[in-house]
């Protein structure tokens, strides 16, 4: 990367946004030898990357859009190797545990709904292993499960990481590969001329022939400037964290997981409340009740922290990946499963941005789909 006499910084690729999505792409770019510059607004921005649940989650995703399932599974399949790369480059162990995950059901109707969803996926994809476990089977795998749980679904590709270590690993690994991260930079304007993008942030300017919009909830306004459509909006999730307790849960579940440090995270709420990342007693109580129903021993455990964080959600819940038809070289990359998809972002999206083939699953994920009447239900 270089700076000219006018103080303009040049790079091969500028990535706007230093959250999980931007730094996963940046890491992939830097690994492939691109001179990569990440510009990030800073710590007071809304950041899903600092407030999430840490799941690498495949189970049930894409039952109404099989390409989403394929894309998710392609990332999950690469996660073990990806974690090793991050350890090798940045020296940070993200604590990946990927031996499958459970989705608990509290009624026979929930069991049936779950079975139908996973069977639909298996019918569409062929190779989609899953198991439905009744209460006795489940107790054999998870001895501390509560009596209110009537059964669970299990898929073997699910896992979890420490999400804060993941963000740190991505930053460290990108830098170790020569990428540069600049914080405290709020991009206001993007101009396109003669095959180059000029990015303005206050008095500072940055130029590159390729640009990636990975600014989370900041994407809609940036996308418009380069002929892209990225109508993402906030969706709040609230999370509870307990004191450290002895290991009791080897597997992640959709609403309770024990971290590598011994704390227990409880969550899985979804609310459309705009740019409001506060917590509410009502939702936290519901999350806690469900956690205690799942594992009754949690009633004895002290809670030490709670927070709200904003998901980056498109209208149908699926990601948006697109190169601008009007300004080739400008890409938008945004999704609401930035942990799960980090491996695919680094290992499959980055080569596309550098001029390689677009990954085959991605054709359906353009932002332009929202310019038509097509509507999917929320992906989960
Ligand atoms: C409660 C909760 C639980 C979740 N659980 C999981 C999970 O278990 N598994 C999973 O896969 N995903 C999960 N997610 C989703 C995951 O956290 C997000 O997909 C991911 O963090 C999105 O990363 P991002 O980089 O797109 O956005 P963000 O983390 O929001 O980062 C965007 C960055 O862009 C920067 N920015 C914005 N505008 C500008 C601008 N104009 N100029 C410069 N920089 C700018 C900001 O500073 C920010 O750092 C969860 C999310 C939440 C909220």
DSSP symbols for 128-169: ---EEEEHHHHHHH-TT--TT--EEEEETT-EE--HHHHHHH
Q: H or E element: which one contains 123?
A: helix 108-125
DSSP code of residue 346: I
Residues in the chain: 380
Q: What is d(CA 69, CA 74) in angstroms, rounded to the nearest whole number?
A: 8
Q: Is residue 81 within a helix (H) or strand (E), and if so which, with residue range? A: helix 66-90
Of the candidates 15, 328, 2, the one whose C-alpha atom is nearest the C-alpha of residue 199 is 15
pLDDT 10s per residue in the chain (380 long)?
567 766 799 999 999 999 999 999 999 999 999 999 999 998 776 688 888 999 999 999 998 999 999 999 999 999 999 999 999 999 999 999 999 999 999 999 999 999 999 999 999 999 899 999 999 999 999 999 999 999 999 999 999 999 999 999 999 999 999 999 999 999 999 999 988 999 999 999 999 999 999 999 999 999 999 999 999 999 999 999 999 999 999 999 999 999 999 999 999 899 999 999 999 999 999 999 999 999 999 999 999 999 999 999 999 999 999 999 999 999 999 999 999 999 999 999 999 999 999 999 999 999 999 996 544 444 44
Mutate to test the pocket of ligand 1, among 20, 61, 345 (most ligand atoms within 8 A of CB): 20
Answer whether 287 contacts ligand 1 (Cβ < 6 A).
Answer: no
Closest atom, ligand 1, to C-alpha of 186: 42
Ligand 1 mean position, distance from CA 20 (Å): 6
Residues with Cβ within 8 Å of residue 102, at least 6 apart in sequence:
133, 138, 141, 142, 152, 153, 154, 251, 252, 253, 254
pLDDT computed for residue 207 by the predictor? 97
Contact yes or no for 33/55 (Cβ under 8 A): no
Nearest to 8 by CA among 227, 174, 175, 191: 191
CA 62 to chain centre: 15
The predicted pLDDT at position 379 comes to 46
pLDDT value of position 57: 97
Q: Are the beta carbons of 379 and 66 closer than 8 angstroms?
A: no
What is the per-residue pLDDT for 378? 45
Give the 3-state secondary structure of residue 256. strand
CB 350 within 8 A of CB 333: no
* DSSP symbol at 349: I
pLDDT at 50: 84
CA–centroid distance, 110 to ligand 1, in Å, is 30
Which single residue is written with the structure tokens 């206001």?
188
Asked if residue 294 has its Cβ within 6 Å of ligand 1, the reply is: no
Mutate to test the pocket of ligand 1, among 39, 204, 212, 338 (most ligand atoms within 8 A of CB): 338
- Rounded Cα gap, residues 32 and 177, in angstroms: 9
Sign, CA dihedral 356-362-366-369, equals positive
**Six-digit token string for 189:** 């304007």
User: Which atom from ligand 1 is nearest to the alpha carbon of 188?
Assistant: 41
Half-sphere exposure of 123 (CA within 13 A, CB side): 8
Element (H, E) at 237: strand 233-242
* pLDDT number for residue 1: 53
Q: Quote the CA–CA distance of 351 and 319 in Å, as a whole number.
A: 18
Query: In the prediction, which pLDDT does 380 show?
Result: 44
Distance (Å, whole) CA 105 – CA 113: 9
66-to-63, 312, 342, 379 alpha-carbon distances in Å: 6, 21, 19, 11
Rounded distance between C-alpha atoms, residue 20 and residue 26, angstroms = 10
Which residues in 53-202 belong to E strands, given as ranges? 55-56, 101-105, 131-134, 151-155, 159-160, 180-182, 189-193, 196-201
Nearest ligand 1 atom to the CA of 40 is 44
Computed from CA positions of residues 251, 379, 368, 226, in that sequence, does the dihedral angle turn out positive or negative?
A: negative
């Amino acid at each position: 990367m270089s700076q000219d006499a006018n103080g303009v910084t040049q790079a091969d690729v500028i990535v706007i946004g230093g959250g999980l999505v931007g730094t996963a792409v940046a890491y992939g770019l830097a690994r492939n030898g691109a001179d990569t510059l990440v510009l990030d607004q800073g710590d007071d921005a809304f950041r899903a990357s600092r407030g999430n649940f840490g799941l690498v989650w495949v189970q049930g995703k894409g039952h109404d859009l099989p390409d989403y399932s394929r894309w998710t599974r392609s990332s999950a399949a690469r996660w073990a190797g990806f974690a090793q790369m991050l350890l090798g480059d940045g020296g940070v162990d993200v604590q990946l545990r990927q031996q499958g995950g459970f989705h608990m059901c509290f009624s026979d109707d929930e069991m049936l709904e779950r079975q139908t969803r996973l069977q639909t996926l298996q019918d569409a994809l062929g190779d989609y292993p899953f198991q439905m476990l009744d209460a006795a089977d489940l107790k054999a795998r998870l001895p501390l499960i509560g009596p209110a749980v009537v059964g669970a679904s299990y898929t073997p590709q699910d896992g979890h990481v420490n999400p804060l270590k993941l963000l740190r690993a991505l930053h460290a690994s990108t830098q170790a590969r020569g990428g540069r991260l600049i914080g405290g930079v709020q991009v206001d304007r993007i101009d396109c001329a003669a095959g180059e993008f000029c990015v303005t942030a206050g008095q500072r300017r940055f130029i590159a022939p390729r640009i990636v919009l990975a600014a989370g909830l900041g994407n809609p306004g940036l996308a418009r400037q380069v002929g892209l459509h990225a109508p993402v909006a906030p969706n709040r999730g609230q999370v509870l964290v307990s004191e450290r307790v002895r290991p009791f849960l080897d597997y992640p579940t959709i609403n309770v997981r024990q971290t590598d440090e011994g704390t227990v995270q409880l969550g899985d709420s979804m609310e459309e409340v705009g740019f409001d990342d506060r917590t509410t007693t009502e939702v936290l109580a519901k999350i806690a009740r469900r956690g205690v129903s799942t594992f009754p021993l949690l009633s004895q455990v002290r809670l030490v922290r709670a927070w709200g964080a904003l998901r980056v959600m498109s209208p149908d819940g699926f990601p948006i990946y697109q190169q601008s038809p009007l300004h080739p070289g400008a890409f938008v990359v945004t999704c609401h499963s930035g942990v799960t998809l980090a491996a695919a972002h680094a290992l499959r999206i980055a080569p596309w941005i550098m001029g390689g083939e677009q990954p085959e699953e991605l054709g359906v994920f353009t932002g332009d789909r929202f310019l038509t009447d097509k509507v999917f239900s929320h992906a989960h």
